[in-house]
Amino acid sequence: MNDMNVIKKSSSGIQSIGLDAVLLDKRMIFLSGIITSKSVDLIVKQLLFLESLDEQEPIKLIINSPGGEVEAGLFLYQQVKGMNIRIDIYCTELAASMAGILLAGGKYGRYILRNGRVMIHEPLISASSGGISGSATQIARTAETILDTKRQLNQLLANDTKRPIKEIEKIVADGDHWFTAEEAVKFGICDAIVDRV
């Protein structure tokens, strides 16, 4: 969908400006849809741009995502963790898989709308990827890489939720684990339920 335009009056006349640009000016960044390297690169550029404009004014990172690429998500996770500027993270509808890890990883405010949902699980190999193929050694290496990723994500969740690693391991091993807004706060993924962004 193309960026919706809004009409803005200024001393220089009337302008048509993209809605995304207006919201960025209000220090709101959106992670919508599947997490990819391309979407994360854009978000990181926006974060760095807003930080360069004002290092004191908070940023709102608004998430509605089913998850996506773990590597891209970890890049965004580390970038948000490493920045000194306050970044408040909001789950509006859905923060699933890698998006749930990002939500839990906020170091300032982590909020969820009353009807928002969070889902966490083990890293997956999607059916659309064609499955694993190759020699037994290659398959074993791929499996070890996936297990390393699983351990890394579990440790991040344990750190960010202040839950024992064994509890995280058990929950994600059982498959998709869904949380209501209330459950996400109780579990430590979010800090509070809010009624709006």
Instruction: Kindly report the three-state secondary structure assignment for every residue of 15-76.
Output: EEEEHHHHHHHCCEEEEECCECHHHHHHHHHHHHHHHHHCCCCCEEEEEEECCECHHHHHHH
Among 39, 65, 97, 177, the active-site one is: 97
Active-site residue, selected from the candidate residues 12, 121, 128, 135: 121
Of 79, 40, 81, residue with least CA distance to 63: 40
If DSSP codes are grouped into helix, strand and coil, which group holds residue 9? strand
Is 121 one of the annotated active-site residues of the chain?
yes
66, 96 contact by CB (below 8 A):
yes
16 is catalytic: no
CB-CB contact of 60 with 197 (8 Å): yes
Active-site positions read 97, 121
